Chains A and B, each alone.
Chain A
Amino acid sequence: MGLIQRGIEAAGIPTVSLSILRDITERVRPPRALFLRWPFGHPLGELGNTAQQFTVLHDAFDFLYTAAPGEIRDLPYPWRRHTYSMPAAWNLKATHPMS
């Protein structure tokens, strides 16, 4: 995925990605990546947790403006042991995605 991200950024479009395998990301060197120590298949988090999805999106969008080139930042959320609330800056209500 990092190769794809590098290609888009090189074409003049800013990019940010999530990483599940830090060692790979460190070698591919995408412009901006947030690392999550979460299982495969869940880059946005657990099933049904929209507050978690919005939290990850908010962190990723914030990182677009604060990252240094090539920075990989570790997000502090342990898998299934964190209670999420909606990002305060976004006036949105958490909904169940299957509803």
Chain B
Amino acid sequence: MKNSFRKRTNVLLAKAFTRWPVLGRLWSKTAPITTSTDVPWTPMSKPLSDCRISLVTTGGLHLKTDQPFDMDDPQGDPTFRVIPANARQADLAITHNYYDHADADRDFNLLLPLDRVRELALAGHLAGVTPSHYSFMGHIDGPHVATLEREILPALVGRIRTERPGFVFLTPA
């Protein structure tokens, strides 16, 4: 019952934020986010044309053949899904009830610009596109934050490293 109420509240808030973006910005001023003091930093060491790219989005994108993100948990889902570099529009779906993804349902490049970076690689502006790209469902709250930091993130970073991208490009929902 409590979970159901929280889920409904999340959906209503998301609809309001989509319709009136100013509300989203007001919410973000008071959202319970820990403030970091340091900034991790790795300088670019190669030109773009020598870099392979990996993409990460938090827009809830996944292969239709994969398990959808868990929308039953009002505190979200900290897990990620792999999007292979050769994924096409017809292969993909979005499971995320907390923003309006009607446009991204028609063109996933609005969230994860895989077609665009493939075109850049073909033209030689990038060295290539790594075999795997990654998608989260951006709503990660409560105990899932610690799970993300302690378990999911090290696993993600380990996977990304094996494919040796020159850099990673990340997009929100």
Let me know if A31 and B40 touch, CB within 8 A: yes
Query: Which of A37, A70, A97 is the one whose CB lies under 8 Å from B39?
Result: A70
Interface: B115 (CB within 8 A): yes
Interface: A41 (CB within 8 A): yes
Contact size range, B: 35 or more
Let me know if A20 and B170 touch, CB within 8 A: no
Known contacts A15-B170, A23-B28; decide if A42 and B104 are in contact (CB<8 Å).
Answer: yes
Let me know if A57 and B113 touch, CB within 8 A: yes
* Least Cβ–Cβ distance between B38 and chain A, in angstroms: 8
Let me know if A1 and B29 touch, CB within 8 A: no
Residues of A within 8 A of B172 (CB): 1, 17-21, 40, 43
Let me know if A4 and B58 touch, CB within 8 A: yes
Let me know if A4 and B170 touch, CB within 8 A: yes
Let me know if B110 and A45 touch, CB within 8 A: yes
Interface: A8 (CB within 8 A): yes
Beta-carbon nearest neighbor of A1 in chain B = B58
Beta-carbon nearest neighbor of B17 in chain A = A40
Residues of B within 8 A of A15 (CB): 42, 167-170
Interface: B69 (CB within 8 A): no
23 sample A-B contacts, Cβ–Cβ < 8 Å, listed by A number: A6-B39, A6-B40, A8-B156, A9-B41, A11-B160, A11-B161, A15-B42, A17-B171, A18-B171, A20-B172, A23-B25, A29-B36, A30-B39, A31-B39, A39-B21, A41-B99, A41-B111, A43-B172, A44-B110, A69-B41, A90-B120, A90-B123, A97-B107
